[in-house]
Amino acid sequence: MIIYFSGTGNTKWAASVLSERTGEKLINITDMPGTEISYKLEAGERLGFCFPVHGWRPPLIVRNFIKKLSVINAEGHYCYVVCTTGDNVGETIDIFEKDLKRIGVHLDSSFSLIMPESYVGLPFMDVDTPKKEKQKKEKAAEDLEHFADMIIERKKGIKELIVGRWPKINSRIIGSFFVKYLITDKPFHVTEDLCIKCGKCAKACPVDNIIWSKDSMPKWKHNGSCLSCFACYHHCPKHAIEYGSRTRNKGQYFFDKNEEL
């Protein structure tokens, strides 16, 4: 079983590749009920987790899912995590490992995969150039094959992680600030002249946080469910969505956007 979350498709791609290679089924966290969930692993089944790094931490939706999860016969089953990231993961995996430990699951191996950047919510952050996007995707495809080999062989104690410089500062101090102040849908707004009311932003939202109809502009619910994954912003075909003034003149990205690259 591979449990995953993805905002802009990078992690969905990685999880699908792993599912093909291992023959194990995919479970999207956003398709799961909000209540307690319990799983019984089949004989020999691996337990895999895939998610992107958000503010040098696991995304809140992933952490909240783990709190509700009980794995009935986790002992003796191989468990791994593949985390996608624009640059580096800091202490993301340490945090996730502790979350798993609390529900009695032991993490055997962990991997990070550098993928195109999706965060555009701060003034100095933008998507990658087309050249960098292509390079990252090519390298990620190679790395993922290598990770899949190790996962298939159930290799334990592997930590193929790019933690970056200052992992403690990034995950603990900046990560905490990120969770408190930067995960919010308040700054989202639509340039009315550009919007064609197509609803793609609402369809792209993994947590159904956008109200849309053919006759009105999309509206964000402002109910605390937004993950700041920017899928809505990136999927707008008219680039009509802005995040305050912080996204002005910035690019858009999602995994399948530039298929020809």
Ligand X SMILES: Cc1cc2nc3c(=O)[nH]c(=O)nc-3n(C[C@H](O)[C@H](O)[C@H](O)COP(=O)(O)O)c2cc1C
Of 50 and 79, which CB lies nearer to ligand SF4 in the complex structure?
50
Kindly list the residues in this chain that would bind ligand SF4 in the complex (CB under 6 A): 7, 185, 190, 195-201, 204-207, 209-210, 218, 220, 226-232, 236, 238, 240-241
Of 79 and 120, which CB lies nearer to ligand X in the complex structure?
120
Of 105 and 236, which CB lies nearer to ligand SF4 in the complex structure?
236
CA–CA–CA angle 86, 87, 93 (5° rounding): 95
Neighbours of 30 (CB within 10 A): 15
Of 131 and 248, which CB lies nearer to ligand SF4 in the complex structure?
248
Measured CA to CA, the distance from residue 83 to residue 53 in angstroms comes to 7
* Pair of tokens at residue 181: 């102040």
From the list ligand SF4, ligand X, none, pick the one residue 207 interacts with, judged by a Cβ distance below 5 to 8 Å according to partner type.
Answer: ligand SF4
Of 70 and 216, which CB lies nearer to ligand SF4 in the complex structure?
216
Task: Give all strands (DSSP E) within the chain, no chain letters.
Answer: 2-4, 26-28, 37-39, 47-52, 69-71, 79-85, 109-114, 159-160, 188-190, 210-213, 216-220, 241-243
Of 55 and 218, which CB lies nearer to ligand X in the complex structure?
55
Instruction: Pick one of 3, 79, 84, 161: the residue that binds ligand X (CB under 6 A).
Output: 84
Instruction: Pick one of 75, 87, 138, 149: the residue that binds ligand X (CB under 6 A).
Output: 87
Q: How far is the CB of 231 from ligand SF4 (least distance, A)?
A: 4
From the list ligand X, ligand SF4, none, pick the one residue 49 interacts with, judged by a Cβ distance below 5 to 8 Å according to partner type.
Answer: none
Measured CA to CA, the distance from residue 100 to residue 104 in angstroms comes to 6
Q: How far is the CB of 229 from ligand SF4 (least distance, A)?
A: 4
From the list ligand SF4, ligand X, none, pick the one residue 84 interacts with, judged by a Cβ distance below 5 to 8 Å according to partner type.
Answer: ligand X
* Cα dihedral 24, 230, 186, 240 in deg (nearest 10): -140
Burial class (CB in 10 A: 0-12, 13-18, 19+), 245: exposed
Q: Is 8 in the site for ligand X (CB under 6 A)?
A: yes
Measured CA to CA, the distance from residue 58 to residue 7 in angstroms comes to 13
Give the interface with ligand X as residue ranges (CB under 6 A).
6-12, 52-56, 84-88, 115-119, 228-230
